[in-house]
């Protein structure tokens, strides 16, 4: 497998694939999630996307094209998944899916920038607030258990998390606005 042009510094195509895939995985996952509402379905399709992309990586010619290339693979895998589960009640029409997929591909760079800004903003939070946010959204924790450990009521914890989310939203908006002004 020959390394694609403009790849990362590595001479190992396997390493190049892993670097590109892990770098773009959050945006790709958001793209898939826009088309498939259930998290379990998203996980299943993401696994298939990674396998297909791994097998076809030698066809990629430029690293800069990875997001669009991966979205094409994702669109095919989403359609394959949907056809296999066509008997489910909540399946969108294929024309609507195609439109969502096109919009998702166009929005992928924006989503990537938003996720990067969010990561930066979470890192700027005071340590206890940052840890709380990460714990509150981790699948292994519940609000009830976190509230109990903190000696708070669930309602007060929800209010605190709402204030932190608003703070993060303002930070992300400021960060993106600053990036848009930077040439």
pLDDT digits 0-9 by tens, 124-158: 999 999 888 888 877 777 888 888 888 999 899 89
User: For position 91, what pLDDT does the model report?
Assistant: 56
Runs of H (alpha helix) within the chain: 13-35, 39-56, 66-84, 94-124, 127-136, 143-150, 154-181
Q: What is the mean pLDDT of residues 145-174?
A: 90
User: For position 58, what pLDDT does the model report?
Assistant: 87
pLDDT exceeds cutoff 70 at 173: yes
Q: How many CB atoms lie within 10 A of CB 46?
A: 18
Lowest mean pLDDT, pick from 25-34, 42-51, 108-117: 108-117
Better pLDDT: 148 or 9: 148
pTM of the entire structure?
Answer: 0.50
Question: In angstroms, rounded to a whole number, what is the distance separating the alpha carbons of residues 26 and 67?
Answer: 11
User: For position 3, what pLDDT does the model report?
Assistant: 40
User: For position 39, what pLDDT does the model report?
Assistant: 82
User: For position 124, what pLDDT does the model report?
Assistant: 93
């Amino acid at each position: 497998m020959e390394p694609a042009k403009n790849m990362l510094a590595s001479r190992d195509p396997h390493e190049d694939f892993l670097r590109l895939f892990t770098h773009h995985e959050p945006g790709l996952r958001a793209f898939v999630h826009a088309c498939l509402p259930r998290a379990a379905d998203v996980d299943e399709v993401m696994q298939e996307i990674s396998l297909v992309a791994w097998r076809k990586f030698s066809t990629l010619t430029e690293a800069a094209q990875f997001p669009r290339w991966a979205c094409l693979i994702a669109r095919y895998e989403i359609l394959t998944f949907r056809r296999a589960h066509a008997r489910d009640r909540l399946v969108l029409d294929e024309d609507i899916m195609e439109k969502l997929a096109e919009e998702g591909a166009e929005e992928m760079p924006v989503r990537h920038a938003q996720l990067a800004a969010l990561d930066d903003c979470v890192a700027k939070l005071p340590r206890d607030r940052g840890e709380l946010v990460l714990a509150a959204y981790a699948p292994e924790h519940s609000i009830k258990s976190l509230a109990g450990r903190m000696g708070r009521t669930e309602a007060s914890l929800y209010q605190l998390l709402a204030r932190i989310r608003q703070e993060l939203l303002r930070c992300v908006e400021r960060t993106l606005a600053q990036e848009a002004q930077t040439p």
